[in-house]
Amino acid sequence: MNIPGLTVAKTAEGEVKPRVIVCHGSEDGLAKTAIDGNALLIGVSTIVGGGDGEVFDVVRSGLAQVFYSEAIAIGDPITAAADGRAKKAASGDFIIGYAEEVGDTDELGSIWVCPSKLA
């Protein structure tokens, strides 16, 4: 399911593939593929990613589709894997939100985008 709320334009710092989790880049207005749960996760790229320096859209709230990197269950807290795909979060990770659909490796799933940090 894909029901985006707030969607903003960002400039890619490095290549950002479609349907991956992103974090802030090194300067205002930049975003890059998230590689883990150690940085604040800000959203999910849409069906169109962006090459380095290109503008792309980021879903900042609502429901967004993202590629899963492992088996995910409904309600799992989600963080970023090394390639920006969704994986289950561990204690202390920044999360992008919670899984809305069951899915497995390389499948598109839906997450509720509500960034926070697990205790």
For residue 87, what is the domain's CATH number? Answer: 2.40.300.10
Calculate what percentage of the chain has a pLDDT beyond 70: 100
Give the pLDDT mean for 45-71.
97
* Among the listed residues 59, 6, 10, 9, the one whose alpha carbon sits nearest the alpha carbon of residue 32: 10
Angstrom CA distances, 89 to 10, 40, 85, stand at 25, 13, 12
Note down the domain range covering 62. Answer: 1-119
How many domains does the chain contain in total? 1
Question: Is residue 25 pLDDT above 90, yes or no?
Answer: yes
pLDDT-derived band at 4 (thresholds 50, 70, 90) equals confident
Question: Is residue 67 pLDDT above 80, yes or no?
Answer: yes
- What pLDDT is attached to residue 113? 97
* Residues 6 or more apart in contact with residue 34 via CB below 8 angstroms: 20, 21, 22, 23, 41, 79, 80, 84, 96
For the question of whether the overall pTM of this predicted structure is more than 0.85, the answer is yes
